[in-house]
Amino acid sequence: MQDITERKEAEAKSATYLDAIGNLALVSIADRRGRILQANAMFCKVSGYSEEELIGRDHRILNSGTHPKAFFVEMWAMIVRGNTWHQEICNRSKSGTLYWVDSTIVPLKDSSGQVTHYLSFRVDITERKLIEIEVTKAKTDAEKANLAKSHFISHMSHELRTPLNVMLGYAQLMESDSPPPTLPQMTMLKEIIGAGWYLLELINKVLDLGAIESGKLVVAREPVYMSDVMAECRTMIEPLAHERSIQLIFPPSDMHVFVEGDRTRVKQVLINLLSNAIKYNGEGSAVEVNCNAVAPGRIRISVRDTGPGLPPEKLTQLFEQFNRLGQETGSVEGAGIGLVVTKQLTELMGGEIGVESVVGKGSVFWFELVSVDAPEHAATGGARGQHTKRNT
């Protein structure tokens, strides 16, 4: 004879659990070897097995091929020590259909602390998991489509740039021809050359955008001397500012600040911000550039204009591709990708970009990069000249 009082008490207790849970969860009781002793109606309904088919069967009847062996080894290692186990798990029904449950297994112990049974609560989450799978698939498909778009844009941009360079070359030859073009001809040539350079700039921005999105653009991480960068940017942007009678205000030329980044891309970011500030600013106004430490190890370069400013609802759309914020019919040319490229380049260099704007008072566009010490060869005098030579 064998005393089975404790077993009967455990079974009675489990029956109470089964009745209390009702239709809220899939509940089962298994012995210490994992053989199913009891299962409620919901468990039978979802699994497709009757209680008679489940009783005495190993729990693995539900998990055939649904998870790696290591998954269940880890589960058993936890529950045999008397610890509760909780995970999302995929089961297989009698018909072979997969279903997902949020499962909790609670070891039941006797008076001496030995595990005698396992109480399992499962909540059917199949519908949620199917939605997650669909969302993941849709995201993967969208990423593939976006990559294909980037490859297409990159290819087409290269194809467009070649004939455009030929057209610009011939137009410039005609401009310097002998005898020189007549005044009407010169006017038309200037229109052709201006439009050509604008298209070439646009194509280059599209190429940058495609390279960034496809992950092919690599940026350097090296010390960049900001005084040199600002001096070069000022030289490049002054003609545009002069056309609109806009005053440029830059920090002192002896500013000794180094940031970590790609020298060419830092210039590109600053030129983009300066170009926008000049184009959208009022004639006869000013654009001010500042460079300050805003936190330990962070340098902020800001470009302030006194233009019309932007309302809050437009600021949230500022870095969206091809969104010109209603300026499509305005006098300022653009395609709505310059700021997108600027933002992504800044982030590739480990920085961040932002804007502050007040309607009627102007805007401040800024980007931050990591501050670094001057390289050894620039530490003793002549920092500017030596660093310029290294990077050019």
Do residues 289 and 367 lie in contact, with contact meaning Cβ atoms separated by under 8 Å?
no
Please tell me if the domain spanning 5-124 has the same topology as the one spanning 222-391. no
Res 383: pLDDT: 46
C-alpha dihedral sign at 345, 347, 349, 351: positive
Domain extents in the chain: 5-124, 131-213, 222-391
Tens digits of pLDDT across the chain (392 residues): 777 777 677 666 656 655 555 566 888 899 988 899 988 888 999 999 998 999 999 888 888 777 888 888 888 999 999 999 999 999 999 998 999 999 999 999 888 889 999 999 898 999 998 898 889 888 888 878 777 776 776 667 667 777 877 888 888 888 888 888 888 888 888 888 877 776 777 777 777 777 776 667 778 889 999 999 999 889 888 888 888 899 999 998 878 899 999 998 898 899 989 988 888 887 788 999 999 998 889 999 999 998 888 888 888 778 776 565 555 444 555 456 778 888 988 998 999 999 999 888 889 999 999 999 888 765 444 444 444 433 43
DSSP letters of 41-83? HHHHHHH---HHHHTT-BGGGG-TTTS-HHHHHHHHHHHTTT-
CATH architecture for segment(s) 5-124: 2-Layer Sandwich (3.30)
> 201: which residues sit within 8 A by CB, 6+ positions away?
none
**What is the pTM (predicted TM-score) of this model?**
0.52
Cα–Cα nearest to 269, from 299, 307, 247? 299
What is 131-213's CATH topology?
A: Helix Hairpins (1.10.287)
Q: How far is CA 140 from CA 53, 127, 153, 281, in A?
A: 41, 20, 20, 42
CA 261, CA 220: separation in Å to the nearest integer?
6
Asked if CATH classification 3.20.20.30 holds for the domain at 222-391, the reply, yes or no, is no
